[in-house]
Each structure stands twice: as structure tokens, then as C-alpha cells.
Amino acid sequence: MKKIVIVVGILIITIGGTLMYLSHMNYWPFQGDKVTGVPDGEIKNVRSQPSSDELSMLLAASGEVDYNVKAKTMDVYFDVYKRDTRVRHERVTAQAGEKAAQMNSRFVWGIPGSDMFAPSEIRVIMRNVQESYAQNTFVIPKGIFGKENGDSARTQPFEDGKIKMGEKYILQLWEFNKKYEAGDSNDPFSKEFLKEREQTVILYMVFN
């Protein structure tokens, strides 16, 4: 009898733990209209090539970000800095409402072409679990790329975790004419980082 009680207790703990994990990660049967594998209020950096048919072309750079969060807005911006002065601030796409609401989406972006330092446009797709989606193309203004020597580029240099309102999640970063002795700041938006580069271009996502 004692062994039966112990076995039943272990089964209850195991099943309960499994159900809690499935609920926390929004897996079936707790998914609802949320993105699976992403806890509530979190962002996931999907480190694999986007599989969306709409972006199945030659891409110089691409990425996917999944999120389940309650927010009023999600904006994607394209910023250009000359040293530490921002000279261009363009909205690429947005998801917004009159008040805070649940946003559950797979955000896919791609830059067509073969040269990361000569992009002409950015294509984005926002898709939910019902497979409905919004698609947009942002044409990069002329004169931004090609004049400076591209030193390096980074794609989605952030980790999975809780979404912080107002924080800028970088999708793509380009650095131009970086000083040889320049230090690597952890924050590409800091004056210390920007001053060490002739030009910095940043594509990023922010929630509010």
C-alpha cells in the first residue's frame, strides 16, 4: 500500500510538472492563439534561416523573432548615425492599438541580395498562429550604403528573455570605418560606441 501511494505521488508530481511546463511554454493544449515555445511576456531569438515562402529568395541577411507580450505598440525602426549624431530615423513597420493588448507574433525579416553592405530594401512579415500575416517592404534611402567602408555587421545580437518596454532589440547592425583601436561597448546605442565609428546603421525592434 505504501509503495502504491509513493508511485501515485510520483506520477502526480511528474504529470503536474509536465503540465506546468507545457503551460509556461504555451505548448498544446495551453497554446490558444499564442506562439508555441515562447513564455508569456518574452521574446525569442530564432537562430535559424526563416522558412517563410515569401522570403525564400537569395538573402544577404535575415532573421526571425517570436514573441508573446501585452503591449500597446511594437515598432521596427531604421536608424542612421554619423558618429554619435542620429541623422535618420525611419519606421519600417509597426503593430499598434489604442490601448495595451496581447501581441502574439512571428516576425520575419530579410534583406534581398548577396551583399550585406549594399542593401536596397528590407522585407518584413508579421504572422500569427492562425497563419494570417501582414507584409511590408521598406526601401532603404539612397546614399546610406556604398560611400563608407563596411567593417562588420551583426544579426540579432540579443538573448531570449523577458521583454522590457522601451528596450531596443537589434535585428541588424552595420558598422562603417571603425577606428582600429575602438573598444567594443555592450550598447551599440551608447555615445562611446557610436563615436568610434564614422557611420552606424541599426535596424531594431522596440515594444511600448
pLDDT tens, position by position, 31-79 = 778 888 898 889 999 977 665 455 656 788 999 999 999 999 999 999 9
- Predicted pLDDT of residue 52: 47
- With 50 as the cut, is the pLDDT of residue 171 above it? yes
Q: What percentage of the chain reaches a pLDDT higher than 70?
A: 84
Phi, psi of 50 (to 5 degrees): -55, 140
SS3 label, residue 145:
coil
CA of residue 26 relative to chain centroid, distance: 19
Amino acid identity of residue 203, one-letter, is L
Closest by alpha carbon to 145, among 206, 63, 61, 76? Answer: 61
Q: Is the pLDDT of residue 118 over 50?
A: yes
Alpha-carbon gap, residue 75 to 205, rounded angstroms: 6
Q: What is the pLDDT of residues 127-155, one digit of tens each?
A: 887 666 788 999 999 999 876 666 789 99
Report pLDDT for 17: 76
Identify how many contiguous H helices and E strands the chain contains and give both numbers: 2, 9
- Name which residue leads in pLDDT, 89 or 16: 89
User: Residue 126 pLDDT > 70, yes or no?
Assistant: yes
C-alpha 143/C-alpha 15 separation (Å) is: 59
Whether 28 has a pLDDT exceeding 80, the answer reads no
* Beta pairing, strands 197-207 & 168-178: antiparallel
Report yes or no: 157 and 173 within 8 Å, Cβ to Cβ. Answer: yes
Strand partners, 4: none
Q: What percent of the chain has pLDDT over 90?
A: 50
Within 13 A of 119's CA, how many CA atoms are on the CB side?
A: 28
Which pLDDT tens digit goes with each residue over 4-26? Answer: 767 666 777 777 776 776 766 77
Whole-number Å distance between alpha carbons of 155 and 129: 25
The pLDDT of residue 106: 92
Q: What is the pLDDT of residue 107?
A: 94
Alpha-carbon Rg for the chain, nearest whole angstrom, is 21
Encoded amino acid at 192, one letter: E
Beta-bridged to residue 154, according to DSSP, are 173
pLDDT of 183 > 60? The answer is: no
Answer for the pair 68, 102: CB distance below 8 angstroms, yes or no: yes
Mean pLDDT in residue range 170-191: 80
pLDDT for the residue 36? 86
The pLDDT of residue 53 is 52
Cα 125 to Cα 77: distance, rounded to the nearest angstrom: 14
